[in-house]
Structure 1
């Protein structure tokens, strides 16, 4: 199992610890262990955010100073007021590098500021000090350089048995400049703006690809102006795979991050921050885990618990929101509750309340969302009032494209699936076109997709500017230099979808060529080097 997944699980435990200012400090095995003789008192310096004594801090050009927290704890209640003082230690940095054969640069002590001058006070009868902040300034740091800061006690405190390893916290600090250019050709250009008049949605499966694959694609609008402008794509990037797990012993619904997604989140400065530099909104896609408990069968207690877990993750990793996808739920498995029509709406409402200002989107598919048109079935909740966007989930790289505009009767002209409007959701917030990623040699399905979208749009069914690419984003999966994703973005999706693109003449039963030719392009020329040279494959 990936170690970062273990660290994430541990961090969830720390949610309860971070706010503690007095009393016992609880660890996995119980209270802080007393490793000193029975009549002695031990002490430990540690972070207010994690139990680890080696902490990674990513600093970024636009963020200013970073703030960490430290606290001091005793193994027994203090018989008198205890005050210790912490200071940076260049000596310990040098010793760490020597002992571990590393060459990390010493973090400048002038860039370190302690709250209360670094004093940590434990009152009589207590075991834990109040947290104090440590402010780390990026002033003068070199991009791409790994720094090390050691914080330790200024001196030993009389009456406290100290173990050297427990009196120091190491901060491994990196600094990164903001990236403002991309290289679609041989020369770098400024990162292009998002395509106007369009909300496009990407999915990336971290089990096979780095999220940065979402930065590799763009669209050129030839014929709109000269020279033809290039636009960024992927307003929303949903990362997979996170699921709902179930603990039969405790009865808890657990928010489970796969090991790959966990790794990506723990290294957000590399994989997430750069997406946000391109103006992508980065969200986690949560699916049912097939354990019997899912969106449609949780109790209110389970919902409250589950939402708190999701909120902790979104806030910790500075994500932009959550996408909900109930596809293969397996409700009622092994004696677990059957599906009902009130828990999913309650989950959505609770998530919205817990994540104000964050994107909350859902995939409309199958029985899980079929009843969202009926407020009474949803326990009086208008689901559409609590989400930002929804889109249908009927997308397959081996089937025809489906264009679905929900209506009260549910019937469709350009889809074999029926959907009704989600109560309270503006029709401008529903994605009717979910584009499959067809093989670059699958001309039949690609031609059908372009024709379906053109007919659907020309018949007046287009109510929103949302287009979804629901299959996992990839690089060059089909060999050679022909790019399936580039073909998807231009030829059979945007070209007929955009108002100034191709349309359909029903009288003559043929295409009406549009004013603009939308052509899918790469924002990173390395993507065209063939599958074996793809720079966006997993690198962990």
Structure 2
């Protein structure tokens, strides 16, 4: 493992180890066992983040606050409505410190505020309260200090009698100094580079294989004419995480927002896997795909849309995500007994998502029948889809097909640089549409790889470039796959960035050759990805 990655790994390890002398108290999932006579009801205060009652939160010096969600769960349904009040308790934190021979600094109760004044209500016949939000402020806290926060409940119902140790949640909160340097494999530490200007680059990361931090592995070095110095930049303005899908519960007819096991793990440990990326002005979003169950973006009813949006909103807010990317494969709707596709469901879903998440990124992939009618607001139930999204890009990206460059046109007529056609999305400015979606090719597929740079250069030189959005629609990979050792390197610096940038290569049609631009762009490795097996790739998932 290289030094730069070790820096982050050791930092996280230090945070985890500081104050870890006490054993975590793990709470079993499922139905709670009765712990009191049957005439009484037991209960437990729970975090929605994890089943443990000892929770680590890593914040950065410029983070204003952190949000946690808690609920209260009974051992059996309540006979009558139960009301409890959540509070922060410094005395309880001090007792925990003393009991476990720790010296963590107690977080002031003034730094904690609760939604609904901390009221947790369980309706008659129910076992679990609706979650409430606890906001932890960093105001006045010291960087580099580990704090302990204890949350507990004040019981307001005499018939709830529970074990004392199950009435508290303990949070170890560490305020980290924002990392500003990386350590290359050889040489002195360097500043963490800013994002490449005049470009909005989009990456996809599949958490079933990789940590999101793989998006940091590749950068770009810009080399202007001498004697001006070269400069390294980061890429990945938007990082879309997979896999999240649309599932269906036939018995209740609910459309479910389903996070895969690996994506769930990453979100539950967002302080480790996501925050170090977000603090450097990069946006972390979830890519939602159809779940191949016959129901999806294009055939939900109004009730299902409202319910689905509520589920998505809860996840985005709970894990402090930056937005949502919608990617519909319309080939997955042909299932017996399921509603037919229609032209109003998807636009309504997009409108409801924007209303529920007004300050978050909302992007979509334009492909196939799922989005082909978005040019016509009348077909979309009067909704101009482009008025509700931030960006869109075409989804025609394949490692076995030549690179496609698509400029949507009103007629949906033949494209010069693509065999596919798209119409403009109503209400979306052309500067917000990504025309270039870059595949990740096998090292040996030169017949389809080599023409890619020529296509981009010709397209740009003839004035077709209307936006600075460059999309890498195939999932990022390392160098451990046979035949793909150079695939990501070629994808980024071989046939996309140097030709896409305005000051990069253009095309000389007279000589039918490429023409160098003012800036030469080459690969800038921020971290080394070893090519001698998956165990040597520090960005493979580590859970």
Give the 3 Å change call, closer, same or farther, for CA 407–59 of structure 1 in structure 2: same
1:383 is aligned to 385
Residue 288 of structure 2 is aligned to residue 286 of structure 1: yes
Higher-Rg structure is 1
Superimposed CA distance per residue, residues 235-275 of structure 1 (whole angstroms, 9 cap, x where no aligned partner) = 11111110000011111110000000000000101111111
The 8 Å contact of residues 46 and 53 in structure 1, kept in 2 or not, is answered as no
1:62 is aligned to 62
The 8 Å contact of residues 444 and 483 in structure 2, kept in 1 or not, is answered as no
2:421 is aligned to 418
Mapped partners of 1:295, 1:232: distance in 2: 33
1:209 is aligned to 210
2:104 is aligned to 107
Give the 3 Å change call, closer, same or farther, for CA 234–224 of structure 1 in structure 2: farther
Give the 3 Å change call, closer, same or farther, for CA 357–506 of structure 1 in structure 2: same
1:446 is aligned to 449
Mapped partners of 2:182, 2:309: distance in 1: 37
- What is the TM-score with the length of structure 1 in the denominator? 0.81
2:45 is aligned to 46
Q: Provide the aligned C-alpha RMSD in A.
A: 4.0
Superimposed CA distance per residue, residues 190-226 of structure 1 (whole angstroms, 9 cap, x where no aligned partner) = 1111111111111101111110001111101112562
Give the 3 Å change call, closer, same or farther, for CA 253–286 of structure 1 in structure 2: same
Stretch deviating more after TM superposition (45-54 or 329-338): 45-54
Shift of 1:111: 4.3
Stretch deviating more after TM superposition (451-460 or 235-244): 451-460
Give the 3 Å change call, closer, same or farther, for CA 122–221 of structure 1 in structure 2: closer
Q: Which ranges of structure 1 fall in alignment gaps of 5 or more residues? A: 1-26, 98-102
User: 88, 91, 114: which is aligned to 2:92?
Assistant: 88
2:538 is aligned to 535
- Residue aligned with 1:186, SS: coil
The 8 Å contact of residues 460 and 506 in structure 2, kept in 1 or not, is answered as yes
Stretch deviating more after TM superposition (332-341 or 56-65): 56-65
The 8 Å contact of residues 53 and 170 in structure 1, kept in 2 or not, is answered as no
Q: Aligned runs of 1:284-433 on 2, under 5 Å?
A: 284-410=286-412, 411-433=414-436
Give the 3 Å change call, closer, same or farther, for CA 84–355 of structure 1 in structure 2: closer
The 8 Å contact of residues 284 and 321 in structure 2, kept in 1 or not, is answered as yes
Stretch deviating more after TM superposition (258-267 or 454-463): 454-463
Mapped partners of 2:85, 2:540: distance in 1: 53
The 8 Å contact of residues 111 and 136 in structure 1, kept in 2 or not, is answered as no
Q: Which ranges of structure 2 fall in alignment gaps of 5 or more residues? A: 1-28
Stretch deviating more after TM superposition (244-253 or 485-494): 485-494
Q: Aligned runs of 1:167-178 on 2, under 5 Å?
A: 167-178=167-178
2:438 is aligned to 435
- Residue aligned with 1:192, SS: coil
Superimposed CA distance per residue, residues 72-91 of structure 1 (whole angstroms, 9 cap, x where no aligned partner) = 89977799x99999532545
Shift of 1:277: 2.2
Shift of 1:189: 1.3
Superimposed CA distance per residue, residues 504-530 of structure 1 (whole angstroms, 9 cap, x where no aligned partner) = 122322222222211122111x32564
